[in-house]
Chain A
Amino acid sequence: MIVEILEVLFLGLAGLMMAYLVRHYIFTLAVLRWAQKGRKAEATGNASYQPTVSILIPAYNEERVIGRILQRMTELTYPKDKLQVIVIDDASTDKTEEISEQYSSTFDLIKVLHRNENEGRRGKASALNAGLKLVAGEIVICFDADYYPQRDVVEQLAKEFADPEVGAVQGRVTVLNEPYNVVTRLVALERIGGYRVDQQARNNLGLITQFGGTVGGFRRDLLERLGGWDESMLAEDTDLTFRVYLAGFKVHYVNGAECYEEAVENWRAYWRQRYRWARGHMQCAFRYSAAVLKSHNLVAKEKIDGLLLLNVYFMPVLTLLSWLICIPLFFLLTQPWLFAFWALAPISLYSFVGNFAPFFEVGVGAYLDGRRRAPWLISLLVVTFLYNIPICTKALLDLLISRASGKKSTCWNKTMHSGNGNSYIMKK
């Protein structure tokens, strides 16, 4: 009886893993097929559409990087009379305030909002909501303080809003400090798979394109109607993505709107960041899975993809569970079909664990980016993939405990930035 239960459970989990594998396989082939049409097909939106834009930059103790992005804001090619930059100094204790004020006094388009200790340090969503009150533009774009956008990023993002169905846009994130060490190189590979293939495919196939929390924007009126960012959510970006879709709007991904980020540089920082993402994403899964299924604003393929996207951070935990079930089955059964399933285990290792871009998705993304040597490290992704198993398992356990005990589950663990990415930016 126990063996039969284990068998059914294992086959169910294997089926779930296959569903994700097929999903990513379709994404990879779709992007390859789309790439055949050439880069001209990439141009979407109306380039002449230039609404007023407000840029929000939340910053807490970002003295090492805030000057870099503010300098970049002054270099953007978007018409300055249509641009507003708001830095939200979230009660920083370092020189963030001083540096921001220097830029604000020199450049009229930059405004600084200071939050004191009572108001601030409540997480990114809280800071963004405070900034939203000062926004004057029709479009609100967010950047993290460690980001470094290309000069025409605002044009690239804003043009998508010419389509009235578009409620939000997302640009591409590329790792700035990629050559720093093996962690940053692996994060860069994850980003390539996640944006160049995964986001692009979801956009092209009319599925759920995700707003990633930065290098993206919203219509201000929609954002206000939705009540801004939800401060109780750790993954406020995923939360907002689903609220936008449930409200009947779309999120567009613009691969040409590139922005560099300073990736985490060690495994401890990687754990903290991914733990926050995993726990926040799981929060969203509990909150929106049923709503996605019931929504009248989503078609069937969006519902399926929405559910797969919402539940993606459960996959490392389920993969671990399937391996644990597989071991007793391996010893208890001698069925010939078992090895075939067992052979799937390593594929699952490279496909469902980690940042959830399977190795072939990462490789094809790197190929399409014209990266020659970057794919050589793909085999090492197994390290990050395995590392994500305890991260997601702990995130799930903590979330379940906090839900059961009724304790507040938002504990914003900020990623600190070293500013090492500064050395990769060419001085003019």
Chain B
Amino acid sequence: MPRDKSKVALAIKALICISLGNRGPTLEWKTSHLVFGFSAAAIASYAFFSCPRINNESAIMLTIFNFLFVSVTFPLNGTLVRKSALLLIGNVIGLSWNYLFSALAHVVAYYFGESANTLYMILSPFANLIWIVSYWSVCLTVLSKSENRKTED
């Protein structure tokens, strides 16, 4: 139960805004954005697999991220620049995450033996998906049109 009346009022406002229709954007589907996005994702994936400093596991996860992100984010409203920037930031986060995670795995393997590597192999896809889903969710907020924001403010 909301603790104070202002929270209840906000919740009611949000529900009423939703229930009265006029919700959500009218989507401007842009095929060119999708084509650009998929091209960028393909190039990035090729680069990840070619780069010897990036391990295969990271390359696979980043490829999954790129194609998933492009296909379900680039059709939404927003400028191509904004979407491309979000994709780039996602890749930077993904690379950093994977480096940190593999570095941690190396340290753990050093102290606890090679079995720790197995743990890394098993856990890393799950850990990756958590940041992928979280980051994508936040990106949806960035791409929401400003006129829709009032419903939950």
Contact = CB atoms under 8 A, between A and B. Distances in A.
Nearest to B148: A370
B52 interface: no
Contacts, number: 146
B29 A346 contact: no
Given A349-B126, A359-B133, A423-B1, A364 B72 contact: yes
Interface stretch (A35-43, A159-167, A287-295): A35-43
Interface string B112-153: 000000100110011011100110111011011000110111
A35 B24 contact: yes
A376 B138 contact: yes
B152 A346 contact: no
Interface in B6-63: 7-8, 11-12, 15-19, 21, 23-29, 56-57, 60-61
Interface residues of B, number: 51
A146 B128 CA distance: 40
Contact of B27 (A25, A35, A331, A382): A35
Q: How large is the interface on A (under 10, 10 to 19, 20 to 34, 35 or more residues)?
A: 35 or more
A359 B72 CA distance: 11
Contacts of B24: 35, 367-370
A426 interface: yes
B75 A346 contact: no
Contact of A379 (B68, B133, B152): B133
B140 A370 contact: no
A363 B29 CA distance: 17
Contact of B141 (A25, A33, A372, A420): A372
Given A179-B2, A349-B129, A363-B72, A372 B12 contact: no
B15 A176 contact: yes
B91 interface: no
A179 B12 CA distance: 10
Contact of A424 (B12, B144, B153): B12
Given A339-B56, A346-B128, A375 B140 contact: yes
A371 B152 contact: yes
A201 to B, nearest CB: 14
A25 B134 CA distance: 19
Nearest to A175: B15
A382 B19 contact: no
Contacts of B56: 336, 339
B72 A360 contact: yes
Interface in A160-183: 174, 176, 178-180
A342 B125 contact: yes
Given A36-B29, A363-B137, A339 B121 contact: yes
Contact of B140 (A35, A179, A256, A367): A367
B49 to A, nearest CB: 12
Nearest to A371: B152
A423 B2 contact: yes
Contacts of A336: 56
A339 B117 CA distance: 14
Given A367-B144, A382-B133, 16 more contacts: A38-B26, A176-B15, A179-B2, A179-B7, A260-B15, A331-B118, A339-B121, A343-B61, A343-B128, A349-B126, A371-B152, A372-B141, A375-B140, A378-B134, A379-B134, A426-B16
Interface of B: 1-2, 7-8, 11-12, 15-19, 21, 23-29, 56-57, 60-61, 64, 68, 71-72, 75-76, 118, 121-122, 125-126, 128-130, 133-134, 136-138, 140-141, 143-144, 148-149, 151-153
8 tightest A-B CB contacts, nearest first? A346-B129, A370-B148, A36-B29, A35-B27, A375-B137, A370-B24, A36-B27, A179-B11
5 contacts: A339-B56, A364-B72, A382-B133, A420-B1, A424-B15
